[in-house]
Amino acid sequence: MTVSDISIKRPIGVLVLTLMVVVLGAFFLRGLSVDLLPKITYPMVRIIIDWKGASPEEIEENILKKAEASVATTEDAIQVISSAIEGNGSIEVYFEFGKDMDAALADTRAKLDLMRNELPPDADEPKIYKADPSQLPILDIALSSATKDERTLRDWAENDLSNYFLGIPGLGAVVTSGGRVREIQIVVDQEKVQKYELSAGKILNLLRLENVELPAGRISDTNKEYSVRLLAKFKDASDVGNIIIANREGRFIKIKDVAQIADSYEEQRIITRFNGKPCVTMSFLKQPNANTVEVVSKINKRAKELLKKKIIPDDVNYAVASSQSY
């Protein structure tokens, strides 16, 4: 007896089986992850090394050639490609398909550690990570304001607003970009520096030594013990200006005597705009196995709560710039 014969002679049984499949399918469908991209692991490890102010030639000579020679010996590496732009060098290490990328990442990091002491002392620590397209932002939020300047808006979004989202299940990180970042600028007057027989290098070293926060031991009494810390971090520009850098014939020379100090901004290398207006962008990254639609829904729900409670004030415009859940 064929399947078609059974289906014709026992229609009720076939109907029950069909309904069972439909019900089970609907039940398990609710638990499926929804994502823009399939789960793919590219056989590639990327290394990023920042060296502010350095030219591409300097980065190639002092960083990339040394790093390339080290990571090229990583087990199963088949190709190493590097590139340099002003202030930044990147290296891509490719492996055979099927390679365990967790092991490849660990091996590459171990090879990079062997030459880390050869990097320029003022270069940033290397950043190394796997290429994973699923770790693109699932949601980008644009914040703008007619009453708050870009520095205030960036500081509020990065240090205050982002904290309200971090407890959402499935959310991995919140990255803030755009706006302006505070920077204390010290412009040295070379004539005054030479007059007092000083140097810019000495001033820089003093700044590093003074701007510290260190453990300073313990204080004990009969019943308690207290940890003591030396809190000497600069709080504003006036703290920087009052640092004593020399003593000339009984007169204390301070930084403000030989330099102009301004509470200003870092050079703006990333400009973000939404509908033609300057804005600050908050990018949300999910955890590897999280459901994109579910996480975005929870972020939007939390944002509505913050708007309702005025934690996001009325003078701040909140808009969705892009979303992978659509």
Task: State the average pLDDT over residues 175-184.
Answer: 87
Provide the token pair at 7. Answer: 């289906």
pLDDT of residue 123 exceeding 80: yes
Which class for 29: exposed (0-12), middle (13-18), buried (19 or more C-beta within 10 A)?
exposed
Q: How far is CA 114 from CA 106, 107, 122, in A?
A: 13, 11, 18
Provide the token pair at 143. Answer: 């914040």
How far is residue 191's CA from residue 111's CA, in Å, rounded to a whole number? 47
pLDDT given at position 298: 92
Helix (H) or strand (E) holding 252: strand 251-254
Of 28-42, 98-112, 134-148, the range with the lowest mean pLDDT is 28-42
231-270 per-position pLDDT tens digit: 778 888 888 888 888 888 788 888 888 888 888 888 877 7
Helix and strand tally (H, E) in the chain? 11, 16
pLDDT given at position 281: 92
Task: State the average pLDDT over residues 261-281.
Answer: 85
CB count in 10 Å sphere of residue 268:
12
| Confidence (pTM) | 0.68
pLDDT of residue 201 exceeding 90: no
Which domains, ranges and CATH numbers included, belong to the chain?
44-132 (3.30.70.1430), 136-181+269-323 (3.30.70.1320), 183-265 (3.30.2090.10)
pLDDT-derived band at 207 (thresholds 50, 70, 90) equals confident
pLDDT mean across residues, the chain: 85
Maximum separation of any 2 CA atoms in the chain, in Å = 114
